[in-house]
Amino acid sequence: MAFTAEQMAAFTVIMGVGFLASIGANIVSMVKVFRRNPPIDQTLHEFARSVDLKAVATKAEADLQTVKINAEIAYARRTEFEQFRTETQRVCTANHTRIDKTLGELFSIQRNMVDELNEKLDRNYEALASWQRGIERQIGHLEAKQEG
């Protein structure tokens, strides 16, 4: 079946009008979408009201209490550590003082022992030297008797 030119023109006009009508319908639907009913700020306000704010506030307060308790525990631990450090420093200082005093006494005793030993060695050396001189004299007397 062949269409006449008038039928083709009418068909084209109908298609064009349908196309323009669909464009208009799309524009109207877009305007409706952009013109929200209710407006977005009202929707957000209703959403915020619908959220259980008391539960959120209670959770936030519980979290805050947990943080406060943890901070108090940390402070207590830090205070205990500072006390422990201070006590340890005091004990170490006392121990160092006692050790220094003991070392001083030990070095003094050692010095006295060395001095006493040196005195005994000097006396023994003099006694040995005196004995050796006596022996040399006796040998000299014996040699003189032998020669004479």
Report residue 120 CA to chain centroid gap.
Answer: 63
DSSP 96-129: HHHHHHHHHHHHHHHHHHHHHHHHHHHHHHHHHH
Per-residue pLDDT tens listing for the chain (148 residues): 677 888 888 989 999 999 999 999 998 888 887 776 667 777 777 777 766 677 777 888 889 999 999 999 998 899 999 999 999 999 999 999 999 999 999 999 999 999 999 999 999 999 999 999 999 999 888 888 888 6
Whether the pTM exceeds 0.75: the reply is no
